[in-house]
């Protein structure tokens, strides 16, 4: 079991498969990209599967989410998914992706054992997409979403970040589109995980702003705390249901007290929180020949030291040195 001093138990593992990405989203990294990890620093496919197996078999992890960077850039992705889905006990499996390439891989991922996907899409307007991501790939993301739905990687969740002056006015249109296509839309407050350290709390589009905008067109009924559990998104029924919309208010309505996540970076570091400034190195233990029980002990120790919260409301908050592309969402 992965328990911390506040009694929280981590059962959800986020695995970053690569720090690379084929977009350059303005809230994540600079236009020229970043210094990527050297290949020897990355976990191999076998190392990833072994660590996930330890988490599932010895530490009580029940759900595994593959992230990046962009996980579809990982050459061995389908094989990793297949091997993880074959573990005992079998974890629930999901993937967070920007959707580029999903049109070609959705069927193979489903056949390998992937249960569902989260796809990032911040706008319905191709010109705004190009401004936000610095790439002209909007139609590829739309195609990826369609392919995921048709492959049965459901519920297909769409993650959206609203930015002042760019797409902040699109919330109602995005929700209408998601309802039409049977996607579950989730708005995410912009978080301080950009490589340029340009994030500012002032002026960000908040959960309150998003809900006020949505209510100009839709009736929203709160789903309630019992339904939410440890999920990061607060959810509302749209016009009485069955469709839902979620808001992940990491900044203005933090949910740290219910957090059940543990994170493994692409280079084998354990992070107890997206905003953590400390890591525990499991890659070195793996490569020095440590047995599974020793690696599990290191993991338990790391999680025992998890802080009460991210501390975004603390004036002394220090943004992590790693951008979101290197940590995994």
Q: Which two tokens stand for residue 254?
A: 């933090």
Known binding-site positions for S-adenosyl-L-methionine: 27, 69, 120, 191
* Omega before 155 within 30 of 0, i.e. cis: yes
Strand pairing class (12-16; 261-264): parallel
Known binding-site positions: 14, 21, 25, 27-28, 65, 69, 96, 120, 157, 191, 256, 259, 261-263, 273
Any idea which residue has 């969402």 for tokens?
Answer: 329
DSSP string across 230-250: T-S-EEEEETTSS-EEEEE-T
Compute the Cα dihedral for 187, 188, 189, 195 and give only its sign: negative
Known binding-site positions for [4Fe-4S] cluster: 21, 25, 28, 256, 259, 273
| CA angle (324 as vertex; 183, 249 as ends), nearest 5 | 55
- The arrangement of strands across the sheet holding 92-97 comes to 220-222, 234-238, 244-248, 184-188, 157-160, 116-120, 92-97, 63-67, 12-16, 261-264, 269-271, 280-281
Known binding-site positions for GTP: 14, 65, 96, 157, 261-263
Q: Which two tokens stand for residue 282?
A: 């499991």
Any idea which residue has 């025992």 for tokens?
Answer: 304
Q: Which two tokens stand for residue 77?
A: 């992705």
Q: How many angstroms separate the CA atoms of 142 and 95, rounded?
A: 17
The three-class DSSP label of residue 176 is helix
């Amino acid at each position: 079991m992965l328990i911390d001093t506040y009694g929280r138990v981590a059962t959800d593992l986020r695995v970053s498969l690569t720090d690379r990405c084929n977009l350059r989203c303005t809230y994540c990294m600079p236009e020229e990209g970043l210094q990527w990890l050297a290949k020897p620093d990355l976990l191999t496919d076998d190392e990833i599967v072994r660590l996930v197996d330890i988490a599932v078999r010895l530490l009580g992890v029940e759900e595994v989410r593959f992230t990046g960077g962009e996980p579809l850039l990982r050459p061995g992705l389908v094989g990793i998914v297949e091997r993880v889905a074959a573990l005992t006990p079998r974890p629930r499996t999901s993937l967070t992706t920007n959707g580029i390439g999903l049109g070609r891989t959705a069927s193979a991922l489903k056949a390998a054992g992937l249960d569902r996907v989260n796809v990032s899409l911040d706008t319905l307007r191709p010109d705004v997409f190009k401004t936000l991501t610095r790439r002209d790939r909007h139609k590829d993301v739309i195609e990826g979403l369609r392919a995921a739905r048709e492959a049965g990687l459901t519920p297909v969740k769409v993650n959206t970040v609203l930015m002042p002056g760019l797409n902040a006015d699109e919330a109602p249109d995005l929700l209408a589109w998601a309802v039409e296509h049977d996607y579950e839309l989730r708005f995410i407050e912009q978080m301080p995980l950009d490589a340029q350290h340009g994030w500012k709390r002032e002026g960000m589009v908040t959960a309150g702003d998003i809900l006020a905008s949505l209510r100009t067109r839709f009736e929203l009924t709160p789903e309630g705390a019992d339904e939410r559990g440890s999920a990061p998104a607060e959810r509302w029924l749209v016009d009485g249901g069955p469709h839902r919309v979620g808001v992940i208010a990491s900044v203005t309505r933090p949910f740290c007290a219910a957090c059940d996540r543990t994170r493994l970076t692409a280079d084998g570091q354990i992070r107890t929180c997206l905003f953590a400034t400390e890591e525990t190195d499991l890659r070195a233990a793996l490569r020095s020949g440590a047995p599974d029980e020793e690696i599990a002990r290191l993991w338990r120790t790391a999680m025992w030291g998890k802080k009460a919260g991210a501390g975004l409301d603390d004036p002394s908050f220090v943004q992590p040195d790693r951008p979101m592309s290197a940590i995994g969402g």
